Amino acid sequence: MPADCAFPLASGGPHRQNSRLFFGVPLPVANIKSAEKRARQTVKRRARNVAARSKLRTAIKSVVAAVNAGDKKEAAAKLKEAGPVIDSAVNKGVIHRNKASRHKSHLNARVKEMSA
């Protein structure tokens, strides 16, 4: 990004301001005990959400990769595996149920398209 960027944090790279969460540097927190606890909870919750979202994306990508490779059996098997992963992401609150339904529908359509 140019030096005269309107967003100075953005010039350091994506998610630069959140890098402290990954490198173990303690976050500055308020002096109030409840605020400190909330900060700790937020870090843990974010780590859980990142892991769940990553698992979701991996499951979806595996189905798409199998479809692109043209392997019908593998694509059907990966689709069957991806369904529960997508549903668990909904139960954990990572994505909305409508988005999960859309993902499952689109993946199923792509696998079905291979058979036709």
What pLDDT score does 115 carry? 81
For residue 4, tell me if it sits in a domain: no
3-state secondary structure the chain: CCCCCCCCCHHHCCCHHHHHHCCCCCCCCCCCHHHHHHHHHHHHHHHHHHHHHHHHHHHHHHHHHHHHHCCHHHHHHHHHHHHHHHHHHHHCCCCCHHHHHHHHHHHHHHHHHHHC
Alpha carbon distance 105, 114 (integer Å): 15
Assigned domain for 9 exists: no
**90 lies in some domain:** yes
* CATH number of the domain bearing residue 28: 1.20.58.110
pLDDT band at residue 25 under the 50/70/90 scheme: low
Query: What is the rounded distance in angstroms from the CA atom of residue 83 to the CA atom of residue 59?
Result: 9
pLDDT in tens, 38-88: 999 999 999 999 999 999 999 999 999 999 999 999 999 999 999 999 999
Could you give the number of structural domains in the chain? 1
Residue 90: which domain range?
17-115
**pLDDT category of residue 16 using cuts at 50, 70 and 90:** low
The structure's pTM equals: 0.71
Q: Is 64 domain-assigned?
A: yes
Task: Note whether residue 67 is domain-resident.
Answer: yes
Q: Phi, psi (5° rounding) for residue 95?
A: -135, 160
8 lies in a domain? no
Structural domain includes residue 3: no
Tell me if 10 is assigned to some domain. no
